[in-house]
Amino acid sequence: MGLVKKGNKLWFFEELYKDVTYGFEVSRVIVPETDTGFQKLMILESDRLGRILVLDGIVQLTEEDEGIYHEWIAHWPLFALSKPSEQVLVIGGGDGGVAREVLRHKYIKKVTMVEIDKMVVDLCREHMPSISAGIFDDPRFDLIIGDGAEVVRAMRGKCDAIMIDSTDPIGPAKSLFNTSFYTSVYDALEEDGIAIHQTGALILQPFEAPGSWRQIERTFDDVRVVQFANFSYQGGPFSLTAGSKGKRVFKNADRNAKKNFRKAGIKTSWYSPEITAYPSPEFQKRLELDKYGEEIVMDIELPGGRRPTTKQVEKWSREACKAIRMVAFGEPIVSNPELGDGETLVQYIETSAINYRRFGDKACANIFTCAALPVDEAVDFSLDYFGAGSAVCWHLPRGSFAEIKDVRKATKIYKAALKKTELRGIDVVSQIYRPKLMDAAAVFSTDFKPPMDRGLCSAFELIMDIHDCDYSRISNCDTVAQWAAVEFRKASGLETVGKPDAPDFGHAKKKTAGPSVIQLLKRGSNISHFSMNWLMIVVNIVSQDAFPVRKVIENALRYFRGKYAVCWIVPRGLRSHAMAEIAENTLIFSVEAK
């Protein structure tokens, strides 16, 4: 919304979120919206908040409460160190507030601030001088105009502390929210050093801190989230995520902070080592999520030989979105407008995809989401929509960080039916089964046969969760499309249909940021989602034809430079109704990269 006239008053409303905003009355526009070449900048004045820096429609700071953020991001790591810091790097922070607080520490010998946008520095220095408070005249201060992601690569082992004071992960700050950047930051630290990064509002940006947590814990020796709140950052609780070089740093951080704070004699207005900055229990639980998402796989018994039309299936996919409280993304993609036996329909949703195919009298559906999935509602809706009596269901944790035995335990196979009452819902009408845990060598042997070769089903599904992939490979739409269209085809020997559809689900959602790919096959489909921030790929390949499972898995691991994969083989288009036999032929195994 930006600047809006309300009567004879001028108001500003923040534009970070589409569904929620906040605003304040503007008494004066000091710097009208200006294109800096990197972003759009405004400096406003408010009687209540003082002068306000706005970048791309998002409030960066106000004179009234800027000290809250700047004191916490600077003093929390510096006081937590076991020895006084001498060399500090600030990435971003062109307003000068972080460097101002760092330079209050008398032991500091040098502060290097790297800001990509010179106009931010110049205009803040001219119109908001209280923020930088004379740092440009301090001989210990050095300003570099450039990309922090590039500069930090040249500072190996030179810094005691690094503060990453960036905007949100869009525009000029996008390069500061990925694993290769965090690796460079780690390398730039001395032993027992700390890096700290702003990672968003914990409620309104629920995947940003967990996404950074996942990346930082892969790179650093320990990780900690600091929680505080100020008015300027909408959404209440705000987060900083810190990583240490050395495992003992955060163990002693609280004790060090109290001792060092007393010794330093620095008077702060907002920071104190006595204030508990640990995340609330709910946020800590979200940070420690042990899985990326959930999927419900259903083989639904269609009554009386019913064959749903394409329009009916499209309607199911849209209404299934509503049933699981998701939003559809684009229009459904179909392999054939007639949607005959074995043909595929895929509907992207805001956190992944819904897909459908039919084999004879079985409607085979997958509903996968990176958010919490209301499984019973998904099954209930689908059974009711298709007028079905029952369905065989596989409930899978996707992208789990648990051991393979625990992933198996969390995977449930059961038969579900609609409740025979006026109340909606489902009954589980079989016992709960688990997939058969296999050694990868047995699946990869020449004797292995897919389940349809044993007369159990019409097709099978290879499901892969590939962990610790290379960021540069999984973040590029062209690269992932090349895998689906060319590399996968070569490895599988399956015939592709048309070009891959590879949209970028980037947005500003840390968990789901990354491409998704649909590659239709002559007798199946390859649907995959790529999480840049969790360094993960989730893949579902359905085929009526056998293909070399080993070659496909090893090709994907090699192409995306993944470390390991958790895989399931699931029979689809079931001909058997014996749940024990279905479970026996549902396999789970793990594969380490060579």
Percent of all residues in the chain with a pLDDT value above 70, rounded to a whole number: 95
Tokens 């380490």 locate to 592
The CATH 2.30.140.10 portion of the chain extends over 2-62
Is 165 known to be catalytic? yes
Q: Which CATH number fits domain 293-592: 3.60.90.10, 3.40.50.880, 3.40.50.300, 3.40.50.970?
A: 3.60.90.10
User: Looking at domain 66-287, what is its CATH homologous superfamily?
Assistant: Vaccinia Virus protein VP39 (3.40.50.150)
The CATH 3.60.90.10 portion of the chain extends over 293-592
From the number of C-beta atoms within 10 Å of its C-beta (0-12, 13-18, 19+), residue 441 rates as exposed
The CATH number of 2-62 is: 2.30.140.10
pLDDT at 173 over 70: no
Confidence of residue 507 (pLDDT cuts 50, 70, 90): very low
pLDDT at 64 over 50: yes
Q: How many CB atoms lie under 10 A from the CB of residue 337?
A: 8
Among the residue ranges 207-211, 356-360, 376-380, 382-386, the one predicted with the least confidence is 207-211
pLDDT at residue 477 in the model: 92
pLDDT at residue 290 in the model: 61
pLDDT at 446 over 60: yes
Q: Percent helix, strand, coil in the chain (nearest 5)?
A: 30, 35, 35
pLDDT at residue 20 in the model: 87
pLDDT digits (tens, 9 = 90+) for 516-560: 999 999 999 999 999 877 788 999 999 999 999 999 999 999 999
Bridge-partner residues for 344, per DSSP? 357
pLDDT at 588 over 90: yes
∠ CA 326-241-72, rounded to 5°:
120
pLDDT at residue 401 in the model: 80
Percent of all residues in the chain with a pLDDT value above 90, rounded to a whole number: 74
Arithmetic mean of pLDDT, 267-288:
87
pLDDT at residue 213 in the model: 75
pLDDT at 365 over 60: yes
Arithmetic mean of pLDDT, 464-477:
90
pLDDT digits (tens, 9 = 90+) for 77-135: 999 999 999 999 999 999 999 999 999 999 999 999 999 999 999 999 999 999 999 99
Q: What is the mean pLDDT of the chain?
A: 91
User: Could you give the strand order of the β-sheet that contains 564-574, starting from the edge strand earlier in sequence?
Assistant: 436-437, 587-592, 564-574, 457-467, 536-543, 524-531, 516-521
- Choose, from 56, 65, 160, 165, the residue flagged as catalytic: 165
The CATH 3.40.50.150 portion of the chain extends over 66-287
The answer to whether 553 and 534 have CB atoms below 8 angstroms apart is no
pLDDT at 464 over 50: yes
pLDDT digits (tens, 9 = 90+) for 303-321: 987 899 999 999 999 999 9
Q: What pTM was computed for the model?
A: 0.65
Taking the CA of residue 560 as centre, how many other CA atoms within 13 Å lie in the half-sphere pointing to its CB? 37
Short-list 387, 376, 366, 391, CA closest to 424? 376
